[in-house]
Structure formats: structure tokens, C-alpha cells
């Protein structure tokens, strides 16, 4: 693990301040897209949904199941899950503002009977043992300094035999996070703690989970960066009002650096609880 130790309140503040801006971009999806290969002509919107599908299909959801979405953002992935499968979903985020927007979105979509969002910290889940059939975490683990602690909490609330599906930004070399951070954006310096790609299996096992897949999908997703930059620049004024011009410039610079940081990995991870 890298040395950053983000604390939850900083992560909450960072997401609270940009919620209004980013909720409009990318149809409320706060994650990378997925393309099959260089010839895949899918739009960014299609690729975003495809990434959600990559994560939710690994849960193999069955009608009537209860799924926990850790780090639900403004709720788009959970709504997609609810539309595709007859399941119940609890989405949690550390950002109260995101939960407000997500709750409103579920109501507007007419899905609030099956999708509920709550403010909660994944490092200490407010749910009883064995209360979910599946747990997903789409690009939220990167903010949690103690992965084993979160994975233990996941294993605890998951029923025996239940599935876990995670998408997480990782590094192949520890120095990569320093390079990534070197643009100096406070958002990443204070809120990112990337795991090493090749330690993911061990982290899962330490938490009592059985890893079934750890795949690096960076080559399927790297194209996203271009769209992140384009999206941010398209609403520059509003973004700058939320975070200030200096931080905005640093974030754009940082996004550009990702393209030149080959040691970053994008882990698609599946695991299950014993039993
Ligand atoms: N999964 C969503 C959002 C990804 S952004 C999407 O794909 O659109 C990362 C999310 O993780 C944010 O919602 C953030 O609030 C959440 N998060 C980060 N640390 C958290 C923690 N300790 N507990 C709960 N949620 C957390």
C-alpha cells in the first residue's frame, strides 16, 4: 500500500464540493469507461455503462437478492443495476451531498422502492452480519487507507457464499502514485491510497474472502482520461467556482499525467465468501 492515509472526512468534503458539477457530467457516473479494444467505437457514455456492467455482472445477481453498493456516488450504477436485475440495493457514500442527489435520482426514476442510499463509512459498516447477497465497490476502494479492514467488513455483512465485485485504481509500482500526485492536486494527495495490483489477492485472503479473479483492465479504460479532461473543461467556470482555479488546473494536469504513467493498473476483482 502507498503511504497516503486519507481520512473519511476529507474524502466526504472533496466529493461534497464537486457533487453539483459532476452530477451533470457523464450522466452521474463517477468512474472510468470500458472499451473492448482500440477498434471499439463506443461513445464514452456507452463505455461508462459497460464498466458498470462489467462490475455488476460479476455479482451474478438473482431476483430478490440484496446488494450493497459501497461508494455509490450520485447513484447511477445502482440505478442501472436495479433496472437490469430485480434486486434490492443499498448504496452508501461518505458524502452527504451525494446521498441527497442519489436519493432524489432514485425517486425520479421510480426505483426508490428497491434502491435506498445512506451516508455510511465503509470502514465500519452499520449493518448486521450476513445481511447482503452481494457487495460491489466501483472505484471507491481507492479512497480507503486500510483495504483489509474494509474487505473484512464486506466479508462480515456478506452471507456465506455471497459474491464481491470491485473495480479499483491500483499501482504496479509504489512510485507511480507519487508521479500521479506530483501535479499537486489536493484531491488526490489527500484522498487517494492506491493498493498494489499484485497484492489484491493477498488483501482479499487476509480478510477471509476467496479471490476468483484479479484482472488489469487499464488498457480497456485508459481512453477515459481524454473524456474526463474534456468534461472538466466543458464546465470549467462552474468547476472553478467549486474548487478554485489553482486546484482545477492541477486536476487537469494530473489527469494528463495518467496517460504517461504506465505503472497504474485498473483492477477488476471478484471474490466470494466461503460457505
Ligand atoms: N461508484 C460510484 C462513485 C465512485 S466515486 C460511481 O461509479 O459513479 C467514489 C465513491 O466512494 C464516492 O461516492 C465516495 O463518497 C465513496 N467513498 C469514499 N470513501 C468512502 C468510505 N470510507 N465510505 C463510504 N464511501 C466512501
* Distance from Cα 251 to the centre of ligand 1, integer Å: 18
Round the average pLDDT of the chain to a whole number and report it. Answer: 91
The structural domain count of the chain equals 1
Q: Confirm whether 1 is domain-assigned.
A: no
Q: What is the CATH number of the domain that holds 55?
A: 3.40.50.150
What was the pLDDT predicted at 3?
44
Per residue in 5-33, is it b (16+ CB within 10 Å) or e — as a string?
A: ebebebbbbbbbbbbebbbebbebbbbbb
Beta carbons of 273 and 158 less than 8 angstroms apart:
yes
pLDDT in tens, 78-118: 999 999 999 999 999 999 999 999 999 999 999 999 999 99
- For residues 128 and 14, the model is more confident at 128
d(CA 66, CA 134): 7
**Does the structure show a pLDDT above 90 at 25?**
no
Q: Confirm whether 61 is domain-assigned.
A: yes
Measured from the Cα of 15, ligand 1's closest atom is: 15
Q: Confirm whether 2 is domain-assigned.
A: no
| Ligand 1 mutation pick, 51, 53, 70, 71, max ligand atoms within 8 A of CB | 71
Residues with CB under 6 A from ligand 1: 8, 11, 15, 29-31, 71-73, 76-77, 92-95, 98, 121-123, 138-140, 143-144
Q: Confirm whether 50 is domain-assigned.
A: yes
Measured from the Cα of 98, ligand 1's closest atom is: 13
Domain range enclosing 115 = 8-272
Beta carbons of 198 and 216 less than 8 angstroms apart:
no
Q: What kind and span of H or E run contains 118?
A: strand 115-119
> Quick one: average pLDDT of 58-80?
97
| Ligand 1 mutation pick, 17, 73, 78, max ligand atoms within 8 A of CB | 73
* Distance from Cα 39 to the centre of ligand 1, integer Å: 31
pTM value is 0.93
Q: Confirm whether 3 is domain-assigned.
A: no
Q: Confirm whether 110 is domain-assigned.
A: yes
pLDDT in tens, 213-258: 999 999 999 999 999 899 889 989 988 998 899 988 988 888 888 7
d(CA 194, CA 214): 15
User: Which letter does DSSP use for residue 194 in this model?
Assistant: P
**Does the structure show a pLDDT above 80 at 179?**
no
**Does the structure show a pLDDT above 50 at 144?**
yes
pLDDT over 90 for what percent of the chain? 68
Amino acid at each position: 500500500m502507498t503511504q497516503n492515509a486519507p481520512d473519511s472526512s476529507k474524502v466526504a468534503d472533496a466529493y461534497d464540493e464537486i457533487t453539483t458539477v459532476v452530477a451533470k457530467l457523464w450522466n452521474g457516473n463517477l468512474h472510468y469507461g470500458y472499451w473492448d479494444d482500440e477498434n471499439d467505437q463506443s461513445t464514452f457514455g456507452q463505455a461508462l455503462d459497460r464498466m458498470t456492467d462489467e462490475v455488476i455482472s460479476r455479482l451474478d445477481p438473482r431476483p430478490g437478492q440484496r446488494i450493497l453498493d459501497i461508494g455509490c456516488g450520485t447513484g447511477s450504477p445502482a440505478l442501472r443495476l436495479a433496472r437490469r436485475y430485480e434486486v434490492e440495493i443499498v448504496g452508501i457514500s461518505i458524502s452527504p451531498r451525494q446521498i441527497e442527489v442519489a436519493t432524489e435520482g432514485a425517486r425520479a426514476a421510480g426505483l426508490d422502492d428497491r434502491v435506498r442510499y445512506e451516508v455510511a463509512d465503509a470502514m465500519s459498516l452499520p449493518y448486521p452480519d450476513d445481511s447482503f447477497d452481494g457487495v460491489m465497490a466501483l472505484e471507491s476502494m481507492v479512497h480507503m487507507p486500510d483495504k483489509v479492514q474494509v474487505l473484512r467488513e464486506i466479508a462480515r455483512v456478506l452471507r456465506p457464499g455471497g459474491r464481491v465485485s470491485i473495480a479499483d485504481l491500483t499501482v504496479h509500482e509504489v512510485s507511480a502514485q507519487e508521479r500521479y500526485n506530483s501535479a499537486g492536486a489536493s484531491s488526490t494527495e489527500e484522498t487517494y491510497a492506491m493498493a498494489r495490483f499484485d497484492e489484491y489477492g493477498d488483501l482479499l485472503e487476509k480478510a477471509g474472502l476467496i479471490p476468483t479473479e484479479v484482472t488489469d483492465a487499464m488498457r480497456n479504460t485508459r481512453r477515459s482520461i481524454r473524456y474526463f479532461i474534456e468534461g472538466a473543461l466543458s464546465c470549467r467556470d462552474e468547476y472553478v467556482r467549486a474548487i478554485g482555479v489553482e486546484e482545477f488546473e492541477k486536476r487537469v494536469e494530473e489527469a494528463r499525467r495518467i496517460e504517461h504513467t504506465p505503472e497504474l493498473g485498473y483492477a477488476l476483482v471478484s471474490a466470494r465468501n466461503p460457505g
